[in-house]
């Protein structure tokens, strides 16, 4: 089985495991948080709910984005992963804003609840489970360069941070600082709000063909400058389409070059870029 197909199947399995795990954690933390009166654990349950939605979105993204390019979509379906990022971010923003408002109200009204050790157990369980899934998703992202997988991994790491904050709130509450629970809840919802806006920005910039990293563009320029046949590099345009990189090059060649020589130079350029850039989708060379 080709390496690419193995990675896709592995990512799909990870998404299913993450969905089931996050669904359990969302229910587990949500029920305990509500009955124990812990706003911090309730907010952490919202992180897990975010992970469920994100996992489902990743599965959809992986299924659609791997379709080959066709007449209707000549650049392929890679950008569907950015649509997934935008969708999941918007979906969770509403619930986060609502919970943040409720936490701020409680903070100013002074309605604090004593700690519950069941909350601590739920938080520690969440830390361990989400950290394991985060590490596997990061591994899959590094092999596939998938924006949806990276977003999904970030959601799980955010859940780890939120659960650790709940642990702090419970321990602090046991020491008499009962206000920590709602303070942590405000921190969690604020952080989740920031994360959702960040992912919304990343997804949106991807949909309008964001360029690749400056370091990678510098590698392309260096390659072209080392080729004596090229008189001038007129323009380099790049775009990130899902997990793949597309490059459009505009170069000037001596006028005495034959068509066969131009084709040979173009092929050398493509092979050179392919050896320097990972996840290369296509290189279009325009010689003048």
Q: Which domains does the chain have, with CATH numbers?
A: 3-207 (1.20.1510.10), 214-287 (3.30.70.1350)
pLDDT digits (tens, 9 = 90+) for 122-146: 888 888 988 888 888 888 777 777 7
Q: Each residue of 126-159: b (16+ CB within 10 Å) or e?
A: bbebbeebbebbbbbbebbbbbbbbbbbbbbbbb
Please state, as a whole number, how many other Cβ atoms lie within 10 Å of the Cβ of residue 172: 17
pLDDT of residue 11: 67
Residue 95 has pLDDT above 80, yes or no: no
- Judge whether residue 207 has pLDDT over 60: yes
Looking at per-residue pLDDT, the higher value among 102 and 42 belongs to 42
pLDDT, position 114: 66
Q: Is pLDDT at 39 greater than 70 in this prediction?
A: yes
Q: Which of 92-101, 115-124, 126-135, 208-217 shows the lowest per-residue confidence on average (mean pLDDT)? A: 92-101
Q: How confident is the model at residue 115 (pLDDT cuts 50, 70, 90)?
A: low
286 has pLDDT over 80: yes
pLDDT of residue 4: 59
């Amino acid at each position: 089985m080709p390496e690419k197909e193995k990675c896709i199947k592995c990512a799909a399995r990870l998404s299913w495991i993450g969905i089931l795990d996050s669904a359990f954690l969302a229910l587990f933390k949500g029920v305990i948080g509500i009955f124990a009166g812990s706003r911090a654990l309730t907010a952490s349950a919202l992180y897990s709910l975010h992970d469920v939605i994100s996992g489902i979105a990743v599965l959809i993204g992986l299924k659609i984005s791997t379709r080959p390019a066709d007449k209707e979509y000549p650049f392929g379906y890679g950008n569907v992963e950015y649509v997934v990022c935008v969708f999941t971010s918007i979906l969770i923003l509403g619930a986060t804003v609502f919970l943040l408002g409720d936490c701020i109200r409680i903070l100013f009204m002074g309605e604090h609840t004593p700690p519950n050790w069941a909350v601590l157990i739920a938080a520690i369980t969440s830390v361990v489970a989400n950290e394991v899934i985060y590490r596997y998703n990061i591994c899959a992202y590094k092999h596939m360069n998938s924006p949806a997988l990276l977003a999904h991994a970030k959601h799980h790491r955010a859940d780890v941070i939120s659960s650790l904050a709940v642990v702090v709130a419970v321990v602090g509450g046991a020491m008499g600082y009962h206000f920590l629970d709602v303070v942590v809840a405000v921190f969690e919802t604020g952080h989740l709000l920031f994360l959702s806006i960040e992912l919304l920005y990343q997804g949106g910039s991807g949909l309008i063909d964001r360029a690749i990293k400056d370091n990678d563009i510098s590698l392309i320029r260096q390659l072209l400058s080392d080729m004596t046949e090229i008189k001038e590099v007129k323009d380099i345009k790049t775009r990130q389409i899902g997990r793949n990189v597309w490059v459009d090059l505009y170069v000037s060649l001596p006028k005495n070059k034959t068509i066969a020589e131009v084709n040979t130079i173009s092929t050398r350029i493509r092979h050179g870029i392919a050896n320097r850039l990972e996840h290369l989708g296509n290189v279009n060379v325009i010689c003048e």
